[in-house]
Amino acid sequence: MARRQNSEINAGSMADIAFLLLIFFLVTTTMDVDSGIARKLPEKTEDTPEVIIKEKNVLDITVNRNNQLLVENEFVQVTDIKRLAMEFIDNGGGEGAPKDGNPGELCDYCNGAKDPASSDHPTKAIISLQSDRGTTYGMYVSIQNEIEAAYNELRNDLALKKYRRTYKDLLDDYKTNGTVSLKTKIDFLKDSYPQIISEPEPIK
């Protein structure tokens, strides 16, 4: 009678297969990347002069832990932020910020109501976004997007009036063909409607 031989499993080939599968999953799996908000922070300088800011040049936006929005102490929806921000920034009720030692000038490109109780000039208009530590990240980003959209639309309107092209088109052209002329136009639009956002420490 023939002796039965014990069957053995080749563990070496199993290890190779497991290793190949591990590499496959590492290569094909997509990793979640945390998204954030692009902000260029000002450099700290010791000789920064003290600036006096009028209360009417600050638009107060507050969001509480329940994601409820207050703009100038009135309840609003997220979808109202863009319109309110545009009205405030583009008000043009007074003189702009002094530049190169020269006094500020009236805004000749503003289309706002020129309300003396609202912001003087886009170069002085500050949007203050006060959040709560309980505010959700999604709500915070949504508000930031609405503020960003307000600035972009104002720049678009001015670009169409001055260059007959949108601000977005100029930015796209500059990415592909970064000429000095395009940079000058983009810088002019950014200087006309500078994005000035204040974000105080969140409320505990």
Domain chopping of the chain, boundaries: 56-198
Q: φ and ψ at 182, to 5 degrees? A: -65, -40
Locus of tokens 């706002």? 112
Q: β-pairing, 69-71 with 58-63?
A: antiparallel
Q: What is the per-residue burial (b if ≥16 Cβ within 10 Å, else e) of 56-82?
A: bbbbbbbbeeebebebeeeeeeeeebb
Amino acid at 139: M
Q: How far apart are CA 162 and CA 195, in angstroms?
A: 20
Give the burial string for 148-181 (b: 16+ CB within 10 Å, else e).
bebbbbbbbbbbeeeeeebbeebeebeeeeeeee
Q: Give me 198's structure tokens.
A: 């204040």
14, pLDDT greater than 60: yes
> For 126-154, what is the mean pLDDT?
93
Model pLDDT for residues 28-57, shown as the tens digit of each residue: 876 655 555 565 555 555 665 666 788 999
If you average pLDDT over residues 130-138, what whole number do you get? 91
The pLDDT score that the predictor gives to residue 97 is 77
User: Pick the residue with more confidence: 37 or 115?
Assistant: 115
pLDDT, tens digit, for every residue of 52-86? 788 999 999 999 999 999 999 899 999 999 999 99
